[in-house]
Amino acid sequence: MSYDLQKIDREKRHKLRKFINSLKKYRGRHTELVSVYVPADYDLNKIIAHLIQEQGTANNIKDKNNRKNVIDALERMIRHLRLFKQTPQNGLVVFSGNISGQEGKSDVQVWSIEPPLPLNMRLYRCDHVFVLDELELMIEHEEVYGLIVMDNRDGCVGLLKGTKIIVLKEMTSNVPGKFKTGGQSQTRFARLREEAAHEFYKRIAAVVNEEFLNNKDLMGVLIGGPGMTKEHFINDSLVNNEIKKRVLTIKDLSYTGEFGLRELVEKSRDVLAEADMIKEKEITSEFFDLLAKNDGKAIYGLNDVKKALEWGAVEKLLISEDFDEGIADEMEDLADKSNAEFHLISVDNEHGMQIKALGGIVAILRYVLE
């Protein structure tokens, strides 16, 4: 199953990963853990009818404990599904089973989640583990953009993957300078420059075609650089037409190389308005602007942030993605209880590293605590 070219923001991906990890730890003694995937727009009444039918079939299971656990899990799931008036917009995934660690004891639980992307498969399975593969496919997806920066001397090809800028290839041209040396005619010198430029475009195009053409997650391509070289390059027939169709913007830049990639992303804010990196930079910039004002609306450090969460004073909670997972989950639960926004911050860029330097947990407050 593929979820190419669809978006899941970092927080939804994080919450889905937490949900998956919470279910991965359970193991049944037999095929007593039930997994059901309901596609978007599918009639829940048909799913309930199917589960009732499976309850009858489960009476034929020979092992007494396994038979009881499967029937009980199906009953809990049926009761849970009847709480829904209709199938949620993206479909529904439901799990139920006996999670007791003691032989002969029963602790049947049920969980459900609306997936962050539309579900287009139907599944019913009893197994010794919950079926989580389809949900795991969704969290593997990250928004990807191709990046090209160049002038007539240097070229750099990279990717913006989530919040991380990845350099794929840096190249230097053999295009002569603008001033010809002695003994060369103007015409011959111009031809040499044109041939060298074409060879340079050819080398960059080879990398671009190889890296971008078969990347199923590629949302689009951003191009930038000083001067007109970038326009000459993208109009060159060496670039695959499918890649040309994906060009979202062409920006004038001051730099090439890795600095140029970062400048290109920064100047493409209008195009990348929904991209993780831009949203992340906006929220971290808001925090640091408030911190500079020193008016008490921006705080950092675990103790102060936890106190503010408990008081319900936090508007936005920012936590580094490499922060202690157990504590981060506790803080996220506190944020949910007070309807505070939760933002998971990458450490792959400058603003993320600044948050990490402040202890990895900061907050923007609704009001100043005394």
Q: Tell me how far apart the alpha carbons of residues 160 and 144 are, in angstroms, rounded to a whole number.
A: 6
- Domain-located, residue 3: no
Q: Which residues are CB-contacts of 130 (< 8 A; sequence separation ≥ 6)? A: 23, 24, 26, 33, 35, 95, 97
Q: List beta partners, residue 167.
A: 158
HSE-up of residue 369 (Cα within 13 Å, Cβ side): 17
Q: So what's the pLDDT on residue 274?
A: 64
CATH number of the domain within which 41 lies:
3.30.960.10
What CATH number is associated with residue 300? 3.30.1330.30
Q: Is the pLDDT of residue 162 over 50?
A: yes
> What gap in Å lies between CA 43 and CA 63, rounded to an integer?
33
Of the pLDDT bands very low, low, confident and very high (cuts 50, 70, 90), residue 188 is confident
Range of the domain at 173: 144-267
CB 178 within 8 A of CB 293: no
End-to-end CA distance of the chain: 53
Which tokens is 172 given? Answer: 């230097």
Average pLDDT on 200-213 reads 92
Determine the Cα–Cα distance for residues 268 and 262; give it in Å rounded to an integer: 10
User: For residue 4, is it within any domain?
Assistant: no
Asked whether the predicted pLDDT for residue 193 surpasses 90, the reply is: no
Question: Confidence band (pLDDT; 50, 70, 90) for 101?
Answer: confident
Domain count along the chain = 3
Q: What is the pLDDT of residue 1?
A: 45
Residues 49 and 83 both lie in one domain = yes
Quote the Cα angle for 338-342-348, to 5°.
160
Domain assignment present for 357: yes
Residues 158 and 133 in one domain: no
Q: Is pTM, for the whole model, over 0.85?
A: no
With beta carbons less than 8 A apart as the criterion, state whether 340 and 317 touch: yes
Co-location of 284 and 258 in the same domain: no
Q: Determine how β-strand 218-225 pairs with β-strand 247-252.
A: parallel
- The count of residues in the chain is 370
- Do 164 and 254 belong together in one domain? yes
Query: For residue 6, is pLDDT > 60?
Result: no
Residue 150 located in a structural domain: yes
* Within a domain: 2: no
152 and 263 co-located in one domain: yes
Which CATH number fits the domain that encloses residue 259?
Answer: 3.30.420.60
Mean pLDDT of 89-107: 89
Q: Which of 267, 299, 326 is the last residue before a domain boundary?
A: 267
- Domain match, 225 and 286 both: no
238 in a domain, yes or no?
A: yes
Residue 37 lies in a domain: yes
Q: How far is 356 from 261, CA to CA, in rounded Å? A: 23
| Cα separation, 76 vs 322, whole angstroms | 37
Neighbours of 239 (CB within 10 A): 21
Asked if 245 and 296 sit in the same domain, the reply is no
Strand ranges (DSSP E) for 144-238? 144-150, 154-161, 164-172, 218-225
Are 174 and 226 in the same domain?
yes
Using the predicted structure, report yes or no on whether residue 10 has a pLDDT greater than 70.
no
**140, 157, 177 - which closes a domain:** 140
The answer to whether 221 and 247 have CB atoms below 8 angstroms apart is yes
Ramachandran area for residue 287 (φ above 0: left; ψ -120 to 50: alpha; else beta): alpha
Same domain for 200 and 133:
no
Contact 171, 154 (CB under 8 A): yes
